[in-house]
Amino acid sequence: MISSKLTTKAQTTIPQAVRLALHLQPGDEIVYRIEQGRVVLTKAAPAADDPFATFSEWASDADARAYADL
């Protein structure tokens, strides 16, 4: 079991074993999810900088080749 202490300012250090397991780096965001009285800590998915990333209809390899020179 891995543990850490809470400071008087409600802060804690994420133990090294957890940082390594989640591949956390300085600046990464983490997500807390409460499930049945437990908290699940995960690494947040990176924010999409590309506003068109959600349009998957133009995301095939053929599309990438067709529009590569634009």
Domain ranges of the chain: 16-66
> Could you tell me the pLDDT band of residue 48, with boundaries at 50, 70 and 90?
low
Q: Return the residue matching tokens 């990333």.
A: 53
- Whether residue 3 contacts residue 17, with contact meaning beta carbons closer than 8 Å, is answered with no
Query: How much is the pTM?
Result: 0.61
Query: Is pLDDT above 70 for 39?
Result: yes
> Could you tell me the pLDDT band of residue 54, with boundaries at 50, 70 and 90?
low
Nearest-CA neighbor of 67 among 49, 47, 52, 48? 52
Tell me the per-residue pLDDT of 18-37, one tens digit each, with 9 for 90 and over.
Answer: 999 999 999 899 999 999 99
Query: Rounded to the nearest 10 degrees, how much is the dihedral formed by the CA atoms of 1, 24, 30, 7?
Result: 60
> Could you tell me the pLDDT band of residue 61, with boundaries at 50, 70 and 90?
confident
